[in-house]
């Protein structure tokens, strides 16, 4: 005999889920069987009631339902998530203002919480957290079954408070512990410098609400210092992406015409095409864009748009390959659903998803005065993420570094030194900005721009 106490809960839940699912199935799929949907929902309801009534410890139906939804979404792809109120609020903070935290970009790789890259100038960066570090504990909590938003929530907090991060690093026998003091993580996204007179260096670290405004001011300042500017290095390395609207407007800033990106949903239907408009200010200086496998999402849109429209030469190593579009739907009681609705395509029609942007010129990153190997192999790509949406072709030939080696050397010390070169821009330290040219990729970009200037002058003089 069924308990009267639990029967109303089960009946209400069953009716609610059935109405929702059948309505959704009818409007979206059309031919999906209502009977089959209803039967599966009854099975779900039976399991819920059985666990709630007879499990060895008391459990709340609300918690069970939340976990069931999380499991359903988690198995879709690594970028979809069911967000409770605190996580939804944190997602909104990511695109505006500031927040307290340690400053790392994380993702899931082989179901392990993995560092994609530390953010320049942050506590994690200064402490020596590195790309590909696997976070196994936050304080005393294991990350084994932790959702991304849960880890982010635990690492964020009031500036001045501490959090203990335990990581496993390849090549290091024992786990490493980092006690980090949280700080205010500014969301300023554009920095600039003049490494050589006449040539600008523009570093975009992410795509936030004010990125295009910051970029416009930075270009104006570079033009004032070097005007007319002879060439620009646009650094999108380790840029994890951000707002689609800002990727489009940044691309539009440098383009006077042409497509920027297209978005296609289910069954390859084209949902929307973003196109460049004619700018009031003509920017006719040549551009070299720097990318690596830490360049993702919005960064890949910008690189692909400038590359396909022949507005810039793209230099570096293959990008991350995050070419999927997520939408966030607010739900009742402060919850939200973040899920994938489409994929990005470059102006030439190439898919970014799990493919990445292939540079026009492959140049491994290294210190010109201290070593000969590349370090880009330490980065995580979209294709490494569990449940990632498949690309067209995931068979790639090995990248070859300038010395002809097929496998770049994993040189963490070199990576740390290279990251700190950009402190001259990030922290405005006292070094000459020309120190940036010790980075082989920045140096090669400068050489290309300088060569373009010299060759242009040669052809003009010999007409």
Which pLDDT tens digit goes with each residue over 405-416?
Answer: 334 444 567 777
Contacts of 243 (CB under 8 A, 6+ apart): 95, 207, 208, 209, 211, 298
pLDDT value at residue 401: 44
Per-residue confidence (pLDDT) for residue 3, from 0 to 100:
43
Q: Give residue 413's pLDDT.
A: 73
- Between CA 270 and CA 153 the distance in angstroms is 36
β-sheet bridge partners, residue 107:
114
Task: Name the active-site residue from 251, 293, 297, 351.
Answer: 297
pLDDT at 29 over 80: no
- Kindly list the distances between the CA atom of residue 249 and the CA atoms of 3, 207, 232, in Å, as whole numbers in the listed order: 60, 10, 18
- Which residue among the candidates 77, 133, 235, 308 is catalytic per the annotation? 308
Is 197 marked active-site? no
* Residue that wins the pLDDT comparison between 241 and 1: 241
Question: Over the stretch 271-287, which tens digit does the pLDDT of each residue have?
Answer: 799 999 877 577 889 99
The CA distances from residue 421 to 30, 81, 317, 424, in Å, are 57, 36, 19, 6
**Cα-based distances in Å from 139 to 92, 151, 154, 162, 209:** 25, 11, 9, 9, 32
Chain-centre distance for alpha carbon 337: 19
**What sign does the CA torsion over 13, 15, 21, 23 have?**
negative
Please, what is the average pLDDT of the chain?
83
Would you call 186 helix, strand, or coil by DSSP? coil
- pLDDT mean over 57-73: 91
Parallel, antiparallel or unpaired: strands 361-362 and 312-316: parallel
Per-residue pLDDT tens digits for 216-249: 999 999 999 887 899 999 999 988 888 899 999 9
Query: What three-state secondary structure class fits 416?
Result: helix
Hey, what CATH topology would domain 98-185 get? Pdz3 Domain (2.30.42)
pLDDT category at 402 given cuts 50, 70, 90 is very low
Q: Is 325 exposed, middle or buried (0-12, 13-18, 19+ CB in 10 A)?
A: buried
Least confident of 170-174, 187-191, 242-246, 433-437: 187-191
- Told to judge if 284 belongs to the known catalytic residues of this protein, a careful annotator would answer no
Cα radius of gyration rounded to whole Å, the chain: 25
Cα-flanking dihedrals φ and ψ of residue 341, to 5°?
A: -120, -15
> Per-residue pLDDT tens for 325-372?
888 999 999 999 999 999 999 999 999 998 999 999 999 999 986 544
Please confirm, yes or no, whether 322 is among the known catalytic residues. Answer: yes
DSSP H or E stretch at residue 255? none
Quote the tokens at residue 371. 């070593």
Rounded mean pLDDT, 14-41: 58
The arithmetic mean of pLDDT across residues 410-432, rounded, is: 78
Looking at per-residue pLDDT, the higher value among 234 and 88 belongs to 234
- Domain limits, the chain: 7-59, 98-185, 190-459
Which segment of 110-119, 224-233, 302-311 scores lowest on mean pLDDT? Answer: 110-119
The CATH number of 190-459 is 3.90.226.10
Residues above pLDDT 90, as percent of the chain: 50
What would the mean pLDDT of 261-271 be, rounded to a whole number? Answer: 84
The catalytic residue among 10, 322, 338, 343 is 322
> Is residue 188 over pLDDT 60?
yes
């Amino acid at each position: 005999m069924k308990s009267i106490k639990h029967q109303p809960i089960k009946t209400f839940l069953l009716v609610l889920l059935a109405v929702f699912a059948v309505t959704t199935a009818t409007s979206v799929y059309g031919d999906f069987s209502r009977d089959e949907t209803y039967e599966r929902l009854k099975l779900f309801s039976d399991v819920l009631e059985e666990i709630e009534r007879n499990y060895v410890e008391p459990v709340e139906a609300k918690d069970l339902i939340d976990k069931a939804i999380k499991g359903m979404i988690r198995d879709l792809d690594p970028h979809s998530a069911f967000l409770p109120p605190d996580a939804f609020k944190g997602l909104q903070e990511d695109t505006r203002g500031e927040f307290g935290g340690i400053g790392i970009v994380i993702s899931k790789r082989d179901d392990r919480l993995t560092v994609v890259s530390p953010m320049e100038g942050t506590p994690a960066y200064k402490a020596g957290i590195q790309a590909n570090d696997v976070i196994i504990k936050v304080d005393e909590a294991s990350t084994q079954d932790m959702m991304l938003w849960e880890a982010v929530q635990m690492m964020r907090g009031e500036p001045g408070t501490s959090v203990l991060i335990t990581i496993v690093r390849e090549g290091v026998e024992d786990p490493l512990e980092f006690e980090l003091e949280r700080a205010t993580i500014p969301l300023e996204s554009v920095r600039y410098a003049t490494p050589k007179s006449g040539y600008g260096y523009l570093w975009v670290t992410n795509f936030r609400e004010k990125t295009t405004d910051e970029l416009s001011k930075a270009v104006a300042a570079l033009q004032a210092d070097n005007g007319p500017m002879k060439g620009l290095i646009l650094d999108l390395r380790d840029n994890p992406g951000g707002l689609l609207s800002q990727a489009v407007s940044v691309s539009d800033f440098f383009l006077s015409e042409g497509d920027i990106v297209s978005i296609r949903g289910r069954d390859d239907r084209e949902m929307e095409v973003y196109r460049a408009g004619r700018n009031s200010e003509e920017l006719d200086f040549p551009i070299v864009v720097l990318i690596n496998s830490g360049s993702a999402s919005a960064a890949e849109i910008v690189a692909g748009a400038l590359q396909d429209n022949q507005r810039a030469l793209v230099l570096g190593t293959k990008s991350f390959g995050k070419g999927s579009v997520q939408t966030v739907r607010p739900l009742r009681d402060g919850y939200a659903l973040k899920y994938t609705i489409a994929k990005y395509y470059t102006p030439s029609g190439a898919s970014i998803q799990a493919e990445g942007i292939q540079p026009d010129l492959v140049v491994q990153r290294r210190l010109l005065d201290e070593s000969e190997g590349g370090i880009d192999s330490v980065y995580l790509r979209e294709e490494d993420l569990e449940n990632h949406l498949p690309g067209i072709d995931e068979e790639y030939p090995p990248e070859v570094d300038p010395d002809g080696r097929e496998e770049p050397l994993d040189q963490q010390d070199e990576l740390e030194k290279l990251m700190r070169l950009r402190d001259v821009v990030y922290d405005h330290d006292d070094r000459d900005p020309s120190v940036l040219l010790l980075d082989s990729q920045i140096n090669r970009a400068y050489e290309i721009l300088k060569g373009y200037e010299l060759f242009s002058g040669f052809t003009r003089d010999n007409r």
